[in-house]
Structure 1
Amino acid sequence: MENTAYLQATSPVTQPLWWQCSVIYQICVRSFQDSNADGVGDLAGVIKRLDYLKDVLGIDAIWLTPFYPSPMADGGYDVSDYADIDPLFGDLATFDLLVAEAHTRHLRVIIDYVPNHTSDQHPWFIQSRSSHKNPYHNWYVWSDPNTDGSPPNNWLSVFGGSAWSWDATRKQYYLHSFLPQQPDLNWRNDEVKTAMFNVLRFWLERGVDGFRIDVAHFLMKDPLLRNNPLNTSLSPTFWRSFGPYDGQWHFYDQGHPDIHKLYQELHQLLDDYSDKQPRVSIGELHRPDIGSWAAYYGRDLDELHLPFNFRLLSVPWQAQEVRLVVDELESVLPTGAWPNYVLGNHDEPRLASRLGQAQARVAMMLLLTLRGTPTLYYGDELGMQNGVIPPERTIDHWAQTMPGLDLGRDQERTPMLWDGSKHAGFCPPETEPWLPVSQRHEQDHVMAQLMDPCSMLSLTSRLLALRREHNALSIGKYLAIETTAEDCFAFLRQYGSQRFLIVLNFANSEQILDLSPFGPACIILSTHLDREEHLDLDHLTLRGNEGCLIACKA
């Protein structure tokens, strides 16, 4: 049954780096905890909840979404100052306290780094657009119009329309891969690279443990600004349809080969700060080809430590489809590279809304037992569902610029559910939160789930505890197991004498499996949280929507 070559490819890590045996928890700062009764989450609110994250839930690292000064045209991903805190979220002293308090609890702090574009209110862009003679004139991507006055090429914005906007002062077009309020920086200008690398140094000096790099594949464009070819197959270039944007193959407006040298330099910068503790780089990458995605690790693992792997967000939720994604990922990883998995984030509908509550539990067991670093989106440990956002409360500009495509992201960014009070403990009852709280907050909140031994929170915290306790579940090797049950995905995690089978039923009907080569064994955790038993594995019965974590005798 064992494939020796495959086991060798997924051999256990003997001296893991901290991020290889960690679980990362993504926090939308604006939605996590309001500390000053203004209806908006903030850094002080995150500090207030650190004990929950460490002691109740049991995660290892937090990733904070942007907290920089911003006009908030795109939820803070339009930065107007990279070296400060928006007053909406606090100040630098509060940030420093957050890092110190997190580190006291042995929690790592990862922050968002937004290098592709700034806000159009950033001083750099204000100066760049003011004159061709300004020292900042070449800090952004500018181009003359075609002879007929049209944009220089056919590139499109992810958020709809042309990626070029006309500036009447310079009498040129500037590039914006997203909103017009988010002009793209010119990373071919060494002054830009120096300034943006200094941004990294600024936060490294303040003690951050790493960076999640926003749209990491966008930084380098084709220097000749060639037209993108048409995508006549209409195959989406991201994981879901973005409308007209998917009418092109994005060969020239992102991911130019020069980008790999840039990430080698960034890797070296982080190494320079890793004398006491390694610093991690995590890249947001949407690449249609898995080989081009894997290339961002670098041939010598000298680029991104963790190119984010989003493939489980889009795959049909069927056992064999999911297994194919996992096995294909393992097959393309460069030697020594470390995998990672994501099942939810601030840009995708909630896990429980996509899969339903029953399969969300199966998905949680999958996420926290696969080989690699998992990222857990805030609230998914509760089974939070998409919020209901009335039209008059819509904030996300994507929903407004591309109506009819259901691309709004407010639904997955609603406030965290802490208790059963009017606004779920996110903010005082008399304060209006920035987005509506879930209509199910009275039964889905943290306090209620802490009292329920069968809750999603109880399942998640137990999975995290088992992962911490057993090296096999964090840094052990992975081996997919063949079964005759098409609706089941089974795999082995092993480290030394520790062996665990994870068996997941993706159907709502009972499945019976013969896994006798691995018995006798003991079920130590079921997603139903009602089953712990010794058994032989020649007749393993899984109920509908059940996953089991099984300890095998050595």
Structure 2
Amino acid sequence: MSTLTRADLTVHTPAQGRAPWWRQAVIYQVYPRSFADGDGDGIGDLPGITARLDHLAALGVDAVWLSPFYRSPQADAGYDVADYRAVDPLFGTLADADALLARARELGLRVIVDLVPNHTSDEHEWFAAALAAGPGSPERARYIFREGGGETGEEPPNNWESVFGGPAWTRVRDRADAPGSPWAEDGQWYLHLFDSKQPDLDWGNPEVRAELEDVLRFWLDRGVDGFRVDVAHGLVKAPGLPDWAGHVSMVEGAEDADDTDPESPALRSPEGHHAHPPMFDQEGVHEIYRDWHRVLAEYPGDRVLVAEAWVDPIERLARYVRADEMHQAFNFAFLVSPWHAPELRDVIARSYRANDAVGAPTTWVLSNHDVVRHASRLGLARTGKGPNGIGATDPQPDAELGLRRARAATLLMLGLPGSAYLYQGEELGLPEHTELPDEARQDPAFFRTGGVERGRDGCRVPLPWEQDAPGFGFSPTGRTWLPQPPEWADLAADAQTGRPGSTLELYREALRLRAGLGLGLGSMSWSAEHATSPDVVAFVTTGAAEVLVLTNLGDADVALPGGWSALVASGPLGSGTDGDAVTVPVDTTVWARRI
């Protein structure tokens, strides 16, 4: 018998007063080049998205987040922006963007667009001007140019690594376009925390701040409902750009420097902990977002700022969603949690504690365009964040196990109060494409690491819409910019529509129930019977009604507690020895309503 009190079991109590839409919203991420192609070139575009918005309305989501569609040389799939106020011809025109926004409004969908403020493309007019103007110029002051180290400046200014692998600095004279150019003898280096074609802006420059605020207003005036902010924790760097012996990876963020590294002791705080990495999570970012918050407050309709911030621990991440800063921040700690009941309960409880302390919703997510899809990640021998891509010669996930767990994880996530993000195709149960040939890969992380990291292409493969159409209906010509696995035919949207038990119909039913039962704005308490179980995560959400959410992560069936009637389950439920009791099989989640 549990001795836990009601106070011990209560995890989350909703904020009082008016609840803006984003506190409980389910938001669907569209990766434009892989969602739907309208013109037949094999690359998704804005008209293609507009034509498929009915699918999202029928799914039951509240809003759409569009990954970048701005003018770009596409060195990093649009996260290298050459013009923040223009649509790349690859994706269409500004008129196409306006048409998409108009159609979304007709369907009751809000639209969030990506903003990439940490860096621009090296083909942005500002960077071209910086190269032409030379050292010490106002044009270079918009970026982070520094003199090199060593006797002749032949060494990078510091030891920082690119998130994509290799050094985070490029010498101007070493650029491929330098020979014979006016800067062929230029010895300065510029910082790029990502690819060399993505130079970091200097956010200490008032001109940079004014420019990006103007970009916000440009898109707000066109009717967007908010911004997902790329690398939100990276805009401000520590003064002096000090050396740092740690390493940064996609999604989970900064890792401590190796204790055996002779440079590490100098980077410790007086308490003996490693200091924050000097390129991320600096105090100055919060001033920027307070300014942006004021910009959005000038517009009606509860516009929203969403932080992509790889910040640990959760308590530091919560600082980004204080009342006068951003509105949501992706919960990557939840995304990278292993499939293990005690660890999931711990991250859920810590997330609510941290976010409730600042009056913010917790924003749940399981997949996005930067990680292995959770239908594959959860089928690996070791669950958690998983590798940075999977290749044909790597250990392969168990597809059946992965999908079963993915369905259970999604139903668990959607039962939690707060907001939630879905990544395109997860409603179809799409796995990672783990057998992409190397010659088809395009992710700069693959090339900068010499193939050590497979990269993110496997989660970015174009969607299957029609089972029997060329390219599974992604494009009118059948062309696709990345090859699709043939087994995706059975996962196409038309093949799953109306099919009992399909992943698509599970998502539709879960989203319908979530909205109708008010789960997103409910309170949440652990089930006393399972509060310390090594095998079960179970909690009661109270919105418009009491709903029990129970996930079995063990190795044997568990009984659904008496007094509850199943509403929806991620897989078939069983029955006990007496024939009346309902049992929840392994790797299954059930929602139940009190009888």
> TM-score, normalised on structure 1?
0.91
Query: More deviation in 462-471 or 170-179?
Result: 170-179
Moved >4 Å (runs of 4+): 234-238, 240-250, 529-533
- The alignment partner of 1:282 has SS state of strand
- Correspondence for 1:269 among 255, 275, 295: 295
Residue identity in the other structure for 1:492: V
1:29-60 per-residue CA deviation (whole Å, 9 max, x = no partner) reads 000111111101100011101111102x1111
In the other structure, the counterpart of 1:227 is 243
* Alignment partner of 1:331 is 2:340: no
Contact 1:13 1:476 in 2 (8 A): no
Give the superposition deviation at 1:542: 1.4
- Preserved contact between residue 321 and residue 358 of structure 2 (Cα < 8 Å): no
**Aligned residue identity for 2:501:** C
Contact 1:525 1:532 in 2 (8 A): no
Counterpart residue number, 1:487:
535
CA distance in 2, matches of 1:8, 1:308: 19
Shift of 1:156: 1.2
Cα offsets for 1:290-336 (capped at 9, x unmatched): 222111123xx111111111112211111221111101111222242
**Cα 1:374/1:532, change in 2 over 3 Å:** farther
- Establish whether residue 427 from structure 1 lines up as the match of residue 475 from structure 2: yes
Q: Once the two structures are superposed, what CA deviation does each residue of 1:196-241 show, in whole Å capped at 9, x if it has no partner?
A: 111111000000000000000000001211111x34xx89795289
Q: 1:508 to 1:39 in 2, by over 3 A?
A: farther
Task: Find the partner of 1:156 among 157, 161, 169.
Answer: 161
Distance 1:235 1:269 in 2: 31
Which of 497, 500, 506 is 1:459 aligned to?
506
CA distance in structure 2 between the partners assigned to 1:340 and 1:536 by the alignment: 39
Q: How many Å apart are 1:97 and its aligned residue? A: 0.7
Paired amino acid for 1:266: W
**AA partner of residue 316 (structure 1):** P
**Residues 238 and 358 of structure 1: CA distance in aligned 2, closer, same or farther (over 3 Å):** closer
Query: Of the candidates 37, 48, 61, which is equivalent to residue 51 of structure 2?
Result: 48
Partner of 1:552: 594
TM-score under structure 2 length normalisation: 0.85
SS in 2 for 1:440: helix
1:451 deviates by: 3.2
Show CA shifts across 1:326-361 (max 9, x none). Answer: 011112222421111110000000111112011111
Give identity over the alignment, percent. Answer: 38
Tell me by how many angstroms 1:384 deviates.
Answer: 0.2
TM-superposition CA deviations, 1:408-439 (whole Å, max 9, x none): 100000011111123111013x4431011132
Over 3 Å counting, the alpha-carbon distance change for 1:241 and 1:403 in structure 2 is farther
- Residue matched to 1:521: 564
Alpha-carbon spacing, 1:281–1:31, altered in 2? closer, same or farther (3 Å): same
Cα distance 1:462–1:547, how it changes in 2: closer, same or farther (>3 A)?
Answer: same
Q: Which residue of 2 aligns with 1:38?
A: 41
Instruction: Give the Cα separation in 1 of the matches to 2:370 and 2:218.
Output: 27
Task: Compute the displacement of 1:529 (Å).
Answer: 5.5
Match of 2:464 among 385, 409, 417: 417
| Root-mean-square deviation over aligned CA pairs | 2.6
Q: Residue 123 in 1 paired to residue 166 in 2?
A: no
Separation in structure 1 between the aligned mates of residue 553 and residue 495 of structure 2, nearest angstrom: 27
57-66 vs 167-176, which moves further: 167-176
CA change 1:532–1:142 in 2 (3 A) is farther
Counterpart among 316, 340, 347 of residue 318 in structure 1: 340
Q: Secondary structure at 2:377's aligned position in 1?
A: helix
Specify whether residues 292 and 335 from structure 1 end up closer, same or farther in structure 2 by C-alpha distance, changes over 3 A only.
Answer: closer
Q: Where in structure 1 are there 5+ consecutive unaligned residues?
A: none
Partners of 2:579 and 2:226 in 1: how far apart?
45
Q: Residue 373 of structure 2 is aligned with which of 350, 369, 373? A: 350
**Change in CA separation of 1:442 and 1:543 when aligned onto 2, cut-off 3 Å:** same
Q: Check the 8 A contact 1:9/1:335 in 2, yes or no.
A: no
Query: 1:531 deviation in Å?
Result: 8.0
Q: Is the 8 A contact 2:556 2:585 kept in 1?
A: yes
Please name the residue that 2:315 is paired with. Answer: 291
Q: Which runs of 5+ in 2 are unaligned?
A: 174-182, 265-273, 379-401
How far has the Cα of 1:536 moved from its partner?
13
The answer to which of 187-196 and 281-290 deviates more is: 281-290
